[in-house]
Amino acid sequence: MNLDMFLASIGFCKKTTGVWQLVGYVLMILKIAVPIILIVLGTIDIAKAVIASKDDEISKSAIKFLKRVVAAAIIFFMPTIVGLILDLITVGWTGEIKNDYATCKTCVISPSKCQVNPKNGNWCDNWDSQTKKCKS
């Protein structure tokens, strides 16, 4: 039994749901904030170079801006990449092991859909979909 199967068999994801939800919210904030910051900084760099009217600075700023746009795109698609990696890990798995990893994926990709029990931070099996809270 490898480490992935061992962690899933003990319900690792369901026992650490609160952590995965936090990771999901951090990724969501980064997904929005970082691309905006990078594009604003790149625009400022290019504007400075254009105002200075130096061709060398304009080309350097354009290259720097392009690198920032690529970095922003990578960060924007990070949750999707994480989801694909989790899908690749579970290829061929069935039952509770696959369900446990689905918990991790749900909490990282869509943290608002993560069913966290506020008492212990674990996955809530008795979820009320109307109130979006764990039934005691």
d(CA 8, CA 57): 53
Beta strands (DSSP E) in the chain are 127-128, 133-134
Contact, 42 vs 64, CB < 8 A?
Answer: yes
pTM equals 0.71
Delimit the domains of the chain by residue range: 9-110
Q: What is the pLDDT along the chain (136 residues), one digit of tens a residue?
A: 566 556 556 678 888 888 888 988 998 898 889 888 988 888 888 888 888 887 888 888 888 888 888 888 888 888 788 778 878 877 776 777 777 778 888 888 888 888 877 777 777 777 777 777 777 6
